[in-house]
Amino acid sequence: MLDSWTDFGDEAEELSKKIADLIKLRVKEMNIPRFKVVVQVNIGQKKDQGVLLTSRCLWSNLDNYATASYQDEKIWATAITFAIYTE
């Protein structure tokens, strides 16, 4: 599906939402109590340019995050999952 994309539009938005929902569901299946899960997914088209994504948060000593990236000759994607401790 992604190999045939020549222009990004609503398809990329829907795909990023689906990926974020799937990640959130899988993390919640781990049944980690007292943590709020926030997932951010970015998908972009490579057109001879570079992209750098960063994130800053005010963390407690129990908060954490995980990140995963993918790229090929046409697209790049990054998913960041935040686990925020709540009392």
For the stretch 16-58, pLDDT in tens is: 999 999 999 999 999 989 999 999 999 888 877 777 777 777 7
Percent of all residues in the chain with a pLDDT value above 70, rounded to a whole number: 90
CB 46, CB 71: distance < 8 Å: yes
Residue 8: which pLDDT band, with cuts at 50, 70 and 90?
low
Per-residue DSSP letter, 26: H
Sequence-distant (≥ 6) Cβ neighbours of residue 63 within 8 angstroms? 57, 82, 83, 84, 85
For the entire predicted model, the pTM comes to 0.79
pLDDT of 73 higher than 70: yes
Q: Note the residue count of the chain.
A: 87
- 2-85: CATH topology: Ribosomal protein S3 C-terminal domain (3.30.1140)
| Cα separation values, 15 from 42, 53, 58, 60, Å | 10, 19, 29, 31
